[in-house]
Chain A
C-alpha cells in the first residue's frame, strides 16, 4: 500500500526554513541546507534557507568568528551557546571554564559573547525573521553547530509553539541522534543518516497528515521513549540530486556587509561529486570516524559534476569550488579531470596520497590546486598501524610533486596509535630536517578518538586503559544527556602509552620547519640534469648552501628515483652489469646522509625537485 500523497495545495501549506547556525565557516555556504532546499523545492514544498551563522559573524566580527569556527580543540563554540540551549540545566553557568577552553587571551571577551552577544543574536533571529507562517524549522548540525542549533530551536518553540523542529547532519549519526532526541526537548524530530530521501518523505507525510512512523530514518519521541524507523539504504545514484541553491547565502552575506559582489570569485562553493570512501570500504583507517553505512563509495558522472560547476559559476560568479568528498574517485582522473582542464576553476579535493607525478600534473592542469591527502605520518610503520595503505615515501613524493605543480597541500602529522614505538618518532624527527623544502604540516598532535572509528569499535585493536567522552562535553551538556551516547570525540589512554616526551623531537622539528616557511627566503632543493650529469642545488640551510655534482652511474641512480620511490634492486637492474651487488644500496645511503634522498625500507626517493618548472 502506498503512503498517502499530498496535493499541491497541501504541500504549499508546509513552508520550511532550513537553518545553518554557528560555527559554520563565514566564507562558505552550507551544502547541506542548500541541497535539501533544492530537493524540497523539487517536491513542491516552499523551502527557504537561512544562513544564520553569518549574523553572528557580523555581530562579533569576522576575525573572532573565524577563530571560533576554525577552532579544533575543546568545544568552545558549543560552550558559548550551552546556557541558551539548556537554560538552568546547563553546566558552567558562571563561565568558570572559560580560561581552560579559550585561553587567557580570549576568555574575558568570550564570557561577554556568551552572556550578552549570544542572547541578543538569538533574539534578533527570532524577532526579525517572519516565522509566523513557517511550519518546519530544520537544522543541519555538523562539528560545533549543535548547541547553537538547539538554542535557536528552544527560543523559537517558546515563541512559536506550533513549529516543528527537525535536526540532522553528522552530529545526529547513529545513537548520537537518538540521544539528543531523547534528552533535548527542543529537538522534535531527527533524520538519522542521509537526508536526501527522508526529508521529502517526511514533508510529504506531514502535508498528507500521514503517520510519521512510515518515514524511513526518522527518530522522534513517542510518549516517554524514542522511536526510530530504519533508514533506507543510501542511494547508489547521485546524479539525480538537484544543484544546491546558494542564493540566500550570497544575499545575506552581502546584506550583512560580510561580502561584496567583487568578493564572489573567492568564495569557495561546496560541491559533492562522491560519497563514502573507496579505501575505507576495504580498509577502514583506524582513526577515521566515517561509519559503516556512509562508508560505501558512490560517485556522480563526470557530466553531472561539470554541469553543476558550470551552473554554479554562472549563477554566483565564483570560480572556486571545494569538493566535500572524503576521497577523490580515481576514475575521475580519466573522465572528469581532463575536461576540467578546459575551465578556469580553482578546485579543492581530498585525495589518497599515492597519486603519481603524472596524476598530480593532470590534476594541477585541471585547476585542482588545493589538496588534502591525509598524509598523517612520515613513518611507514605507523602508517601500517593506521591502515592508511600508503608508505611514507609515497607521502613525501606527493608533497614533492604537488609543490612542483604549484598545489597547496593541507596535511597534519598524528600520533597516539596502539603499537607505535619511540623509535618511530625518533626516525621521523631525524628526517624532518631533510624535508624543509616541502610544505610543512598545518599541525601535529595526538589523535582524537572518534566514534565509529576502528579504534573506538574494535576492542582487540586498541588496548585502552580507559575511554571517556572528551572532557569539555561536560562543560557544555547537562547531566541529563548521556555523553557516552551523544559524544563524538573521546579521550583515551593506551595501556602502554609512550611518554609524551617521545614526540618532542617531531614537535621541535615541525616548529623549525614551519619557521623556515615563514622566512623571506624559502628553503630550496632543486636539480638540473643532462645525460650523465646531475647538479643538485641545496639551499635548505643558508649556512650550508651549495651544489652537489654527480656524474654517470651516481647521476643515473639519483635520477632513477626522482619520479617515484624505487627499490635499490630495481635501480640496479637498470645499470650495466659488473657493479658490486650492493652498489645502489651504498649510493642510497650516501645520498641519504647528505639529505638528498629519503629511504623507506629498500626504496629510495630523490628529494630534490626539478629546477625548471612546468615539466
Chain B
C-alpha cells in the first residue's frame, strides 16, 4: 500500500477540528474516538518507521491529551531509495527461476 506524507499543518488542522468536536461528543463517543486513534497510532508505530517519510503518531495514557504527534526527520530521496535497492547475486550462487521464462516453442 502506498504511504502518505503528513505535514505539521495537517496534524495541527486535525487537532483543531477534534478539539472543536469534543464538546458535542457523548462520553461513549469520546471513548470510541480515543480508542480508534489509539489503534491507529499503534498500527503506525508497529510499521517500520524508517521506511515512512511522514509523521509519527503515538498514543498516551493521559486521556485529557488523547494524541501526541511528533515529526520524524526529512523525507528520504528517490535517489537514496534506488541507491540501496540492489543486492548483487552471490558469486556462483543460485540463478533464480531459470527456465521459467524463455524462448517460445519454436526454439
Residues of A participating in the B interface, judged by any CB pair closer than 8 Å: 346, 369-370, 402-404, 406-409, 439, 517, 521-522, 524, 526, 531-532, 537, 539, 544-554, 556, 575-579, 583, 586-587, 590, 594, 609-613
Contacts and interface: CB of A to CB of B under 8 A. Distances in A.
A322 to B, nearest CB: 12
Contact of A521 (B2, B95, B97): B95
Contacts of A583: 78
B2 A556 contact: yes
A554 B96 contact: no
B102 interface: yes
B86 A575 contact: no
Contact of B51 (A369, A537, A551): A551
A538 to B, nearest CB: 8
Contacts, number: 102
9 contacts: A402-B104, A403-B103, A526-B100, A548-B85, A579-B5, A609-B101, A610-B101, A611-B96, A613-B100
B88 interface: yes
Interface majority SS on B: helix, strand, loop or mixed?
A: loop
A403 B3 contact: no
Interface string B78-103: 11011001111100000111101111
A590 B78 contact: yes
B105 A406 contact: yes
Contacts of B19: none
Nearest to B101: A609
Nearest to B78: A586
A613 B79 CA distance: 32
B21 interface: no
Interface size for chain B: under 10, 10 to 19, 20 to 34, or 35 or more residues?
20 to 34
B86 A403 contact: no
Contacts of A612: 100
A409 B78 CA distance: 36
Interface of B: 1-7, 51, 78-79, 81-82, 85-89, 95-98, 100-107
B104 A587 contact: no
A403 B95 contact: no
Q: 4 shortest A-B CB distances, which residue pairs?
A: A408-B106, A408-B104, A545-B89, A546-B88
A539 B81 CA distance: 21
Given A522-B103, A539-B96, A594 B82 contact: yes
A407 B103 CA distance: 7
A346 B87 CA distance: 41
Contact of A545 (B78, B88, B102, B103): B88
A320 to B, nearest CB: 11
A539 B95 contact: yes
A18 to B, nearest CB: 31
Given A545-B89, A546-B89, A594-B82, A552 B95 contact: no
Nearest to A577: B4
B86 A613 contact: no
B86 A548 contact: yes
Contacts of B103: 403, 408, 439, 517, 522
A524 B101 contact: yes
A576 B89 contact: no
B95 A545 contact: yes
Contacts of B107: 408
Contacts of A578: 4-7
A551 B100 CA distance: 24
Nearest to A590: B82
Nearest to B84: A549
Contact of A552 (B3, B79, B104, B105): B3
Contacts of A532: 1
